[in-house]
Amino acid sequence: MALMLLAAARPTAVLSLPANQQTIMLAMDVSGSMRATDVQPNRLVASQNAAKAFLADLPRNVRVGIVAFAGTASVVQAPTLSREDLAAAIDRFQLQRATAIGNAIVISLAELFPDAGIDLQSLQTGRERQRGYAIDEERKEKKEFTPVAPGSYNFAAIILLTDGQRTTGVDSLEAAKLAADRGVRVYTVGIGTVDGETIGFEGWSMRVKLDEETLKGIAKATQAEYFYAGTAADLKKVYETLSSRLTVEKKETEISGLMALAAAALALLSAGLSLLWFNRIL
């Protein structure tokens, strides 16, 4: 009777349940600094191996898309359920110059919301207007958009991996705000040297340093998390953690059904004992 009364009160509890994620965008840095060997065998290969292991651990019903970014960002694999196509896209990465972290976030959002009118070019020309450049005033009519609470969109997420700091493209935190306004979490992963080091690439010598503060800012703005991976083993553990974060989430859930089930089980048990002891149901 007590359990029945509790069930009628519609109690709730925080439970670990399967997440609603339907699409995950992997935005991966392919700038020249990713050939550094401080993460064995090098940063690029370590990130490729860890990403493929991450894909293998994901539920088969989760679609994944891949964005590769350096000086520009592009979708190298549209969201798909085919792990083979995703692995092939990861294996085709080619190193390039510069790092456009903000562009990677914007391109990922445009892939997640193809009808939302998210336009990388308009963001760049908007910045040019602020600098005083002459630009074409004809623009596509923008769709009306109402921001939502950061982290509230549970059907998609972005995982961004980089080993450096933005050198070109859309401002990283401006791009993070676009994601936050749409409720999309951007989990950031930093790989490589925090203090910075000098790396050679195609006859150029460059000083690279992981911009942890910006990556933490992106994650915080979108209600996500930042992870640092100093070794290949660390990176694999990061992806394992992300896999559990994105496939299981804690939710406050009504448990009146469970209480009613327990009450029914006790009622049947008491009836059985009554028949056993008194040959009738009391």
For residues 77-101, average pLDDT? 95
pLDDT tens for residues 216-233? 999 999 999 999 998 899
Residue 17, C-beta contacts closer than 8 angstroms, at least 6 positions apart:
248, 249, 250, 251, 253
Give residue 205's pLDDT band: very low, low, confident or very high (50, 70, 90): low
Asked if residue 40 has pLDDT above 50, the reply is yes
Tokens 């004992």 sit on residue: 273
Domains in the chain, start-ordered, CATH in brackets? 19-251 (3.40.50.410)
Asked if residue 245 has pLDDT above 60, the reply is yes
Give residue 74's pLDDT band: very low, low, confident or very high (50, 70, 90): very high
Please give the residue that has the higher pLDDT: either 177 or 123.
177
Sign of CA dihedral 257, 263, 266, 271: negative
Decide: pTM greater than 0.85.
Answer: no
What's the pLDDT at 45? 95
Asked if residue 240 has pLDDT above 60, the reply is yes
Give residue 259's pLDDT band: very low, low, confident or very high (50, 70, 90): confident
Strand 204-208 relative to strand 197-201, pairing: antiparallel
